[in-house]
Amino acid sequence: MKKKVALVTGGARGIGLGIALELAEESFDIAIADVQDEAAVSENISKLRGGGAKVLYCRCDISSATDRKAALVKIKGELGRLNVLVNNAGVAPSVRADILDAGEESYERVMKINLQGPYFLTQAAAKMMIEEKKADPSFQGAIINISSISAETASVSRGEYCISKAGVSMATKLWAVRLSEYGIPVYEVRPGIIMTDMTSAVKEKYDKLIAEGLLLQKRWGLPDDIARCVAMMARGDIAYSTGQVVNVDGGFSISRL
């Protein structure tokens, strides 16, 4: 049997790398799309290859239509197919600013990377998967969007981020509806407070909040927590659950008195 191929955007570090490592363990071949020069992340790419997976690195700015197209062409040419797209790449605002003061430049940057890029990458990847499905009815594909608890939790110092992740949640529903006729499920994983480079600048703040009871499970989330959830979806363990959201947030989303 041909090995399944997964594309993980932002897969060179953080949550994306955790997802890529987990999928490699599940016998997927891996394509990574990331903005960094490959030499700068060579150690992490070597880790992936060390598990026996074929790994293709695509230097790609997810907000660029040209880069997205080039990455998919490269994947098709070198790995032959695409079974799973994990839309993980994303950025926080460069500066946290009150929504009364925030500027348009930051808004546009965050929206292009976090929402517009994944939306149109999904469009192009879905067309590849549909062609595979038509040629081979046994083909199994899936789209997995990584959003955030910020899709529903308002943070007025980073409004553009919250809006972008709320958009990702709606995109999950839209693509689940549109791709249902082709048997391609679409899922959303909603991480909570995860220990990554992105959250390192606010570690002290969240250490205090977690200690004070913000979460039911009093610890930071780890990339592995997200990765195991993604692997479940990529394997097809919840194939009858398209459009569903899984919160990986230590119980943050449970309303309490």
The predicted pLDDT at position 188 comes to 98
Q: What is the pLDDT averaged over residues 66-72? A: 98
Q: CB-based burial of residue 136 (10 Å sphere; 0-12 exposed, 13-18 middle, 19+ buried)? A: exposed
The predicted pLDDT at position 1 comes to 65
**Predicted confidence (pLDDT) per residue in 138-192, tens digit:** 999 999 999 999 999 999 999 999 999 999 999 999 999 999 999 999 999 999 9
% of the chain at pLDDT higher than 90: 95
| Chain mean pLDDT for the chain | 96
pLDDT band for position 206 (cuts 50, 70, 90)? very high
Q: Which of the pair, 201 or 228, is modelled with greater confidence?
A: 228
CA dist., res. 156 & res. 167, Å (int): 17
pLDDT band for position 51 (cuts 50, 70, 90)? confident
State which amino acid sits at residue 32. I
Best CA proximity match to 59, nearest among 20, 24, 32? 32
Please state, in angstroms and as integers, the Cα–Cα distance from residue 160 to each residue in 65, 165, 190, following that order. 21, 9, 17
**What residue ranges in the chain does DSSP mark as E strands?**
5-9, 29-34, 55-59, 84-87, 142-146, 186-191, 245-248
The predicted pLDDT at position 197 comes to 83
* Whether pTM exceeds 0.85: yes
CA dist., res. 238 & res. 244, Å (int): 10
What domains can be seen in the chain, in order of their start residue?
A: 5-246 (3.40.50.720)
Q: With a cut of 80, say whether residue 57 has pLDDT above it.
A: yes
